[in-house]
């Protein structure tokens, strides 16, 4: 019989779904901007720019909601890294992902009320949410106000450097999103983890 634990608060579920929709929209408009040309884009370049900027501002606001929510609710405890023994725990989880899961072994770090993430998830989510996302947002805000970007950064065009940083981290986070969706299919059933983001209950 499946065991259930209430893991995702209402605000976390709403934030997660809205954040995912906004990020998908940013990917679409970003690609339209990047590959814009006569007859080669679905959305006109000027429209893509406006929509990308507005969506980026909304994503930045929702990111602040995430940070503030983690400060003042119990969800923040799931992002605390216990560094002692972290490498060995991550190695154990890696072996499970590459071998154990295909042998139907039990996960070494099952989800519970006190642990939402396994060691590899924890490391990736902390890097993504507390380093990569701020870099993406800050570089995006800088591109909204190009007059304040230094003319040169390390002898290169300042705006080109900031744009490169923004595109690079946008690409990294896009790849992360694809991997994240794939790993979400590794629940008790292929759709159970997606269902938990609707009702808040994790099945294991």
**Kind of pairing between the strands at 152-153 and 156-157:** antiparallel
Residue 87's pLDDT is what?
Answer: 93
Q: Are 152 and 158 in contact (CB under 8 A)?
A: yes
Which residue's structure tokens are 């065991």?
A: 3
Residue 46's pLDDT is what?
Answer: 85
> Which regions in the chain score pLDDT beneath 50?
1
- Supply the CATH number for residue 162's domain: 1.20.950.20
Domain tally for the chain?
1
What is the model's pTM? 0.90
Cα 200 to Cα 75, 156, 204: the distances in Å are 13, 48, 13
Domain region containing 141? 4-203
Residue 186's pLDDT is what?
Answer: 86
Q: Are 182 and 192 in contact (CB under 8 A)?
A: no
């Amino acid at each position: 019989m499946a065991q259930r634990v209430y893991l995702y608060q209402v605000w976390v579920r709403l934030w997660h779904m809205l954040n995912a929709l906004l990020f998908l929209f940013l990917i679409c408009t970003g690609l339209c901007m990047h590959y814009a040309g006569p007859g080669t884009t679905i959305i006109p370049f000027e429209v893509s720019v406006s929509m990308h900027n507005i969506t980026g501002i909304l994503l930045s606001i929702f990111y602040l909601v995430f940070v503030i929510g983690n400060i003042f609710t119990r969800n923040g405890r799931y992002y605390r890294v216990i560094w002692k023994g972290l490498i060995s725990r991550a190695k154990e989880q890696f072996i499970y992902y590459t071998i154990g899961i295909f042998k139907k072994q039990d996960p070494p770090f099952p989800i519970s009320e006190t642990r939402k993430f396994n060691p590899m998830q924890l490391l990736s989510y902390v890097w993504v949410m507390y380093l990569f996302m701020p870099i993406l947002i800050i570089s995006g805000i800088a591109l909204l106000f190009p007059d304040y970007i230094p003319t040169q950064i390390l002898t290169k065009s300042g705006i080109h450097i900031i744009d490169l940083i923004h595109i690079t981290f946008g690409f990294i986070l896009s790849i992360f999103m694809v991997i994240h969706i794939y790993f979400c299919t590794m629940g008790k059933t292929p759709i159970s983890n997606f269902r938990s983001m609707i009702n808040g209950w994790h099945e294991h």
